[in-house]
């Protein structure tokens, strides 16, 4: 494909990063908002209060908000794109807290344990330097092993790494791939070389501003490590012959593992950038990954360094209902 056809993917316009604000009357200057920001979008002013940088990336994950112990951070604007290939629909999407629960008769109710576990789960990226006992790791693995799968094909295989030297080797190898990609993307001439990469795997989501500028950019700038300094890395490998493909099956499996990890007092984070291992033959061989298996994603586990979970607002898109005896669709805004 010619470059001009792909320009809207590689050079999107009207991208608005999220905007957060600190209430200085509440702020204690503890710095947890900064520490829990994957992209280091914060800086301090002359009085030591935190504010967003002039140039920054923020895709409204609200990690800063959930870590703040005094509720000093508020949402001013959510990440959105006005027009072009990545335009959000509608834009900006409203951020809403969960609806108040009701029972079968429509009376006020309480969230049950499963609902609360789902609503409060968040990706944790700051861990203590403390090993996770293998007994607990095995319970997390069992939660994945017993996940549902298409056609009961169970197309997963787990590779557990707790060896610090090997984790660092993986971290550096993946960093090298992502850093090269970021440098290429940011250069106005070199970026055109990514056309061939896109044609080989036409997945525009890999170049979404949230991924390439935020996630990969944060790693390239060394704001964070690929594997987040976690003491446990679980590579989730999938069989490419899987019924319905490995990705959806691994997603179901990994979410089981994620929720069970939380229930055991440890925390987890998905690391999708782990798929870069598929591009590294020597590392694949060392880890024992052979066709038809590939890395689909990874989970890192550890004990949280500070509180990073809790309920935050999420994007709300219109829901379309087709109810009994209705004359047509009812779109719930």
- pLDDT, tens digit (0-9, with 9 covering 90-100), for 260-284: 999 999 999 999 999 999 999 999 9
The CA distances from residue 257 to 55, 135, 151, 281, 310, in Å, are 36, 14, 20, 28, 18
Element (H, E) at 174: helix 164-186
- HSE of 105, CA atoms in CB hemisphere, 13 A: 2
Residue with tokens 């660092």: 168
* Mean pLDDT on 278-294: 97
Do 201 and 72 share a structural domain?
no
pTM of this prediction exceeds 0.85: yes
Query: Which of 90-94, 203-207, 295-299 has the highest average model confidence (pLDDT)?
Result: 295-299
Q: Render 59-97 in DSSP notation, one character per residue.
A: -S--HHHHH-TT--EEEEE--EE-SSTT--SSSSPPEEP
267 and 137 fall within a common domain = yes
Task: Give mean pLDDT, residues 190-194.
Answer: 95
Q: How confident is the model at residue 186 (pLDDT cuts 50, 70, 90)?
A: very high
Within-domain flag for 284: yes
* Same domain, residue pair 136 and 214: yes
Mean pLDDT, rounded, for 24-39: 95
Higher pLDDT, 332 or 292: 292
User: Whole-angstrom Cα distance, residue 27 to residue 305?
Assistant: 20
Within this chain, do residues 267 and 225 fall inside the same structural domain, yes or no?
yes
Whether residues 88 and 31 share a domain: the answer is yes
The contacts of residue 115 (CB under 8 Å, 6+ apart) are 101
* Structure token pair of residue 94: 């409203």
Above 90 in pLDDT, residue 58? yes
Q: Is the pLDDT reported for residue 107 higher than 80? A: yes
- Region class of 324: left (phi > 0), else alpha (psi between -120 and 50), else beta: beta
Query: What is the per-residue pLDDT across 1-12, written as a single tens digit (0 to 9) for each?
Result: 889 999 999 999
Whether 325 is covered by a domain: the verdict is no
Q: What is the pLDDT of residue 95?
A: 86
Give domain status of residue 327, yes or no: no
Residues 84 and 198 in one domain: no
pLDDT of residue 325: 87
- Averaged pLDDT score across all residues of the chain: 95
Residue 326 pLDDT greater than 90, yes or no? no
Same domain, 79 and 138: no
List pLDDT tens digits, range 60-77. 999 999 999 999 999 898
Q: Is residue 92 over pLDDT 90?
A: no
Length, in residues, of the chain: 333
Is 54 in the same domain as 30? yes
Of 1-5, 89-93, 94-98, 197-201, which range is least confident?
89-93
**Range 24-33 burial, b when 16+ CB lie within 10 A, else e:** eeebeeeebb
CATH code assigned at 148: 3.40.109.10
- pLDDT of 75 reads 87
Domain count, the chain: 2
d(CA 330, CA 108): 24
Kindly report, residue by residue over 235-246, the tens digit of the pLDDT: 999 999 999 999
In this structure, what are the phi and psi dihedrals at residue 204, rounded to the nearest 5 degrees?
-65, -20
pLDDT at 318 over 90: no
Count of Cβ atoms closer than 10 Å to residue 20 Cβ: 23
Tell me the residue range of the domain where 175 lies. 124-302
User: Residue 93 above 90 pLDDT?
Assistant: no
Q: Which of 83-92, 266-275, 311-320 is most confident? A: 266-275
Q: Is the pLDDT of residue 217 over 80?
A: yes
- Whether 102 is in a domain gets the answer no
Query: How far apart are alpha carbons 291 and 309 in whole angstroms?
Result: 37
> What pLDDT score was predicted for residue 312?
92
Is the same domain home to 241 and 271? yes
- Gap between the Cα atoms of 164 and 132, Å rounded: 13
In this predicted structure, the answer to whether residue 91 has a pLDDT above a threshold of 90 is no
């Amino acid at each position: 494909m010619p470059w001009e056809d792909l320009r809207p993917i590689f050079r999107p316009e009207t991208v608005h990063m999220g905007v957060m604000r600190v209430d200085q009357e509440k702020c204690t200057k503890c710095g947890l908002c900064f520490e829990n920001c994957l992209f280091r979008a914060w800086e301090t002013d002359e009085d030591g209060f935190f504010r967003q940088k002039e140039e920054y990336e923020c895709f409204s994950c609200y990690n800063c908000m959930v870590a703040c112990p005094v509720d000093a951070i508020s949402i001013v604007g959510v990440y959105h794109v006005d027009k072009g290939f990545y335009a959000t629909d509608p834009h900006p999407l409203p951020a809403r807290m969960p609806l108040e629960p009701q029972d079968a008769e429509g009376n006020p109710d309480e969230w049950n344990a499963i609902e609360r576990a789902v609503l409060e789960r968040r990706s944790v990226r700051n861990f203590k330097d403390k090993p996770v006992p293998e007994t607990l790791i095995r319970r997390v693995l069992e939660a994945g092993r017993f996940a549902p799968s298409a056609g009961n094909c169970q197309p997963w295989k787990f590779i557990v790494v707790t060896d610090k030297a090997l984790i660092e080797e993986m971290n550096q190898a993946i960093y090298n791939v992502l850093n090269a990609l970021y440098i290429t993307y940011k250069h106005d001439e070199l970026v055109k070389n990514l056309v061939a990469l896109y044609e080989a795997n036409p997945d525009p989501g890999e170049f979404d501003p949230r991924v390439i500028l935020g996630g990969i950019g944060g790693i390239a700038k060394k704001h964070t490590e690929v594997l987040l300094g976690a003491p446990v890395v679980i590579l989730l490998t999938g069989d490419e012959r899987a019924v319905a493909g490995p990705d959806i099956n691994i997603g179901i499996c990994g979410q089981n593992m994620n929720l069970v990890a939380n229930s055991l007092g440890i925390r987890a984070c998905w690391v999708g950038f782990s798929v870069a291992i598929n591009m590294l033959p020597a590392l694949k061989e060392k880890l024992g990954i052979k066709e038809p298996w590939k890395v689909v994603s990874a989970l890192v586990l550890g004990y949280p360094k500070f509180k990073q979970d809790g309920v935050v607002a999420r994007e709300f898109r219109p829901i379309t209902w087709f109810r009994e005896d209705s004359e047509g669709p009812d779109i719930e805004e």
